Amino acid sequence: MLDKKHIHYFETLVGKENVYSDKAHLIAYSYDATRTRFEPEAVLFPRDEQDISDILKYCNEHLIVITPRGAGSGFTGGALPTNGGIILGLEKHMNKILEIDMENMVAVVQPGVINMDLQKAVAEVGLMYPPDPASEEYSTLGGNVSENAGGMRAAKYGITKDYVMALRAVRANGDIIRAGKRTIKDVAGYNTAGILIASEGTLAVLSEITLKLIPKPKFTKGYMGIFPSVDDAMNAVFKSLASGANPVAMEFMDALVVQALKEKLGVELPEDAGALLIGDVDGNVPEEVAFQLETLEASFKENNAQEFIIAHDDAHRNKLWYARRNASPSITIFGNKKLNEDISVPRSMLPEALKAIYAIGDKYGFKVPCFGHAGDGNIHVNVMVPDGKDEEALHQGHQAIEEIFQMVVDMGGTLSGEHGIGTSKAPFMGIAFNDMEIQLFKDIKKSFDPNNILNPGKMGLPGA
């Protein structure tokens, strides 16, 4: 247990109103979207960068474990205090947009800023911050950077790492460092910012983030392609992109998701619809948007699309997107326990990958509905266990996941396209990386945090 003298020191440092060790707070900060619970021993809310530095310096000297946390919305346990210790909550005070620089098109933010709040703020001045994770209404930018979050617009605009220009961060010993610059080009020194992105709070605590912005496109149109089979849809993905299409999003739903949307939510789709591709195109002139839609339609129909629908207004566009937004809740018709993984493969491998995934599901007797960001090769694979209380079925479900991971890596893919590794995927790191690579990760961790106080036990790294 955390000694009372430590609690007293933190109260002196940041004020009693920012230090909590009561049961209510410990429970509230014990879980994330994995629904797994690990109680911390205290919750601290730093007011600024100097508070973070002072807290980390003290914890490093006394070997107190710290878990940085934003909104706690992660799917892999990255913000869980698996070793007890302190939760460092960055959402209470460090949640300000510090600057929107119109001339250089950058935003400077604190880590606790909500993604959607930044999107709205920059949109008001005609700019755009593209990364849009599904959790954008509540996830923090610090969490997005720590997990390298993706989103539906990644097909055209990329993911979080493509917009991080510079960081300020605090090392485990309290040292404040700068990584990256505000300039478009910067080739001086190691790419420290790149190392900190996706490090899940294991190397340093982010205190300030400088993000690239782009001009907001003037026109957007939605579309839906309806296909007779998953194979046709998957072929249409990489072939349409190779033919010159550049959609903002190209979201995929397979035959099982189509079935679930019809049965559970009453979404009207053709009887023989076997797969859907839904997305947007954008541009600054109507002709650019029209060209994108024409290119997509031609390619989709070459790959056996039964129908290509173009949204005629925003209401119609929202109706098309309703299917994608409700893919996840609809598939509960196949089981009450969902083992959801966010694998990513080269786009040309999508048809083969989906066939292999379904074959693994059949081997274990599970339905495996799939949906996700096909435009960038990132698919959400859902092994549906009919009864989540059946321990043997759960074990088989996890075996199926392991086989899927191995297949994905063999195809040149990766364990995670956007959710990160955390604790839930840590046991599978040996599938994706060899011993030398994992040792390199450990060496980097030790150079930043030699006493292993920052979020230990995540990403397959040693626990406390």
Position 163 pLDDT exceeds 90:
yes
E strand segments, 269-373: 275-283, 307-310, 337-344, 370-373
Q: How far apart are CA 172 and CA 449, in angstroms?
A: 5
Neighbour-count burial for 127-157, b at 16+ CB within 10 Å, e otherwise: bbbbbbbbbbeebbbbbbbbbbbbbbbbbbb
pLDDT for the residue numbered 272: 82
Over 90: is that where the pLDDT of 1 sits? Answer: no
Residue 436: pLDDT band with limits 50, 70, 90: very high
pLDDT of 464 > 90? The answer is no
Overall average pLDDT of the 451-458 stretch: 97
340: DSSP letter: E
Q: How many residues does the chain have?
A: 464
Q: For residue 222, what is the enclosing H or E element? A: strand 219-227
| Structure-model confidence comparison of residues 270 and 3, the more confident one | 3
Strands annotated E in 13-118: 19-20, 42-44, 66-69, 86-89, 97-101, 106-109
Rounded to an integer, what distance in angstroms lies between the CA atom of residue 50 and that of residue 13?
10
- 195 Cβ contact partners less than 8 Å away, ≥ 6 residues apart: 179, 203, 444
The fraction of the chain above a pLDDT of 90, given in percent, is 96
What digits encode the pLDDT tens for the residues 12-36?
999 999 999 999 999 999 999 988 9
Please provide the CATH number assigned to the domain covering 4-90: 3.30.43.10
Q: In this structure, what token pair is assigned to residue 315?
A: 């209401």
Q: Left, alpha or beta for 209 (phi > 0: left; psi -120 to 50: alpha)?
A: beta
| C-alpha span between 345 and 210 (Å, rounded) | 30
Each domain of the chain, given as residue ranges in start order, spans 4-90, 97-215, 218-418
Over residues 264-290, the pLDDT tens digits come to 999 888 778 899 999 999 999 999 999
Question: For position 145, what pLDDT does the model report?
Answer: 98
* pTM as predicted: 0.95
The reply to whether 218-418 shares the fold of 97-215 is: no
- Per CATH, is 218-418 categorized as 3.40.462.10? yes
CATH label, 97-215, candidates 3.10.310.30, 3.40.1440.10, 3.30.465.10, 1.10.150.130: 3.30.465.10
Q: Could you read off the pLDDT of 92-150 as tens digits, one per residue?
A: 999 999 999 999 999 999 999 999 999 999 999 999 999 999 899 999 999 999 999 99
Per-residue model confidence as pLDDT tens digits over 30-78: 999 988 999 999 999 999 999 999 999 999 999 999 999 999 999 999 9
